[in-house]
Structure 1
Amino acid sequence: MVRKKELRKGTMTMKVAVGIDIGGTKIAIGLVREDGKVLKEIEFPTNVDGGPDQALEKMIQYIKSLYTVEPNIIGIGIGSPGPLDTKAGIVLEPPNLQSWHGYPLVQKIDSAFRTKVKLINDADAAAFAEYYYSHRSVYSHMIYVTVSTGIGGGLILNGELYEGVLSGAGEIGHMSMASNGPLCGCGKIGCLEAFSSGTGMMNTWKKKLESLQQPFDPDWTGKDLFEQGASGETTAAEVVKSGADYLARGISQAVQLLNPELVVLGGGIVLAQPTFYQQVVQAVPNYLLDHHKRNIVFAIAEQGRTAGFKGAAAAVLAE
């Protein structure tokens, strides 16, 4: 349901949608204009132990308040951790949303508002935000990789979000990089996430120091890892270099499979550690065929903390 564009005070009226970003800790809701401007933003605790119904009541309450800001909302987009059944609109089995398993979220929201409602994976939402608001005027094929506690990704092919048959496309973090590598949080051995995520690199650092009979402070964070590596602490520097190299290898495999024009890197580690970003970007060509090196462009994510709900809104705005 797309409204005709009208002239208002000399400018074109822009479409507006609601975006919801559901996380294990908090839920963020935004009223988003098609040019990316956030007209209003609301955030509240998820309270996973309280179950999905209490969160739904708050979402409905806050969305109703957004209709007082802009009554002509064209739809509601929802970004949620997977796995999901996006066609049926059901939250399946996200590890951090145990009480939500099997929850028919789209049906519940649709019953309250009788408008277009779309459910997508949260990593896909972030990917689509980067594409829709920052790059769609120039590029049609993009890979998005987010590096933080874990590693996720999203794919834009021919200008559209590619979700795959089961809404599971873009799981670059769980590409197998070594048959005898470290254990990943997903239960598999040798995933890219186990080598190059914040969690993976911290685990590697701890094991290396223990093997050298050197102390590891349990209060250390990823910031300490990068600071010590930059200051010349050999073990920390080796861990960061190895993490960047594995990430470059994973990205190169995705590039050679999909042949995109653009690779966007985001997530807490990339945004906080520009040197790490440069290490990755400089290493990727080492693993590419010459043909794939010709037009590839790298960029840092621009949408920041609002990418989740902005991308969910964009999924509605783009239809």
Structure 2
Amino acid sequence: MKRDLLAWTIEDAPPQSGRVAVVTGTSGLATAIVEGLARTGAQVIMAGRSVERGEAVLDAIRSRVPGAALSFRQVDLAELASVAAFCDGVLAELDRLDILVCNAAVMAELGRSETRDGFEMMFGVNHLAHFAMVLRLLPLLSRSGARVVSLSSGAHKYGEFDFDDLQSERAFKPMGAYGRTKLACLMFAKELQRRSAAQGWGITSVAAHPGFARTQGVHDRLATLPVVGWIAGRTVVPLLSHPPEQAAQSILFAALSPEVEGGGNYGPQAWRELKGPVGPASVAHYAERRDVAERLWAESERLTGVRVPEALRA
């Protein structure tokens, strides 16, 4: 990547008029991602659980981006049946889908909980739901020559997979479990790119992370630590983090820039990749292991019951 691209902003993105994008999530980064895409002229669909919250977010964006082509579709990523219904609707209603941003995530839950399908909540929502969504939408994504962006994180470096305990049933540590979901998202992005290239799907799959985004979720978590949280929220957090509008730049770059390379990982470049201008993000050696990525793919197919459609299999 050229050094002058490190100053990339949404103004550098090529016009997206006539193109269609889907972004999962209704809070935090999702708002900034949807607004950024809307500013390029894309038709943007926000996909999330709460219709009321989603429509309120879209109304606020419309007030800032007159003429924005925005709509909301409901999906609960904690329920695979809801993901299937959402995908069926998209396949029936859209004749193209150029950008899919797998953004929605549950972060570092303090206690272990499960999705409606019995998956550990973070693994189920952050990875398995998006895995199922991408595979179900694969015919449309392939036909559109789409770009798929999976959200990674520096937390992917926290550990490796225990394939005998992917659901953290034997041992649950919030940040460790969260980090493994982000490792899964990153490895899925890389494996999707490899399979697309090998089988001619025409999809460009990339990963991106926002660094330390100063979202409401961060403030909510700090509020659970009465004294330490109050101090950190006024000292360390402002110093090391950046607001959602800046944090979203790396995701928007991954979704829109012609300089993106399939299988790449992008993020902020300042201290420890926590904030700053966009550039290539570091990747743990384990995350590059194809044997692990292939096993994760197979396990994800088994757990979700979703496979690549027959017509797209080699």
TM-score bin, normalised by smaller chain: 0.3 to 0.5
Output the TM-score relative to the length of structure 2: 0.34
Larger strand percent: 1
Larger Rg: 1 or 2? 1
Output the TM-score relative to the length of structure 1: 0.33
Larger helix percent: 2
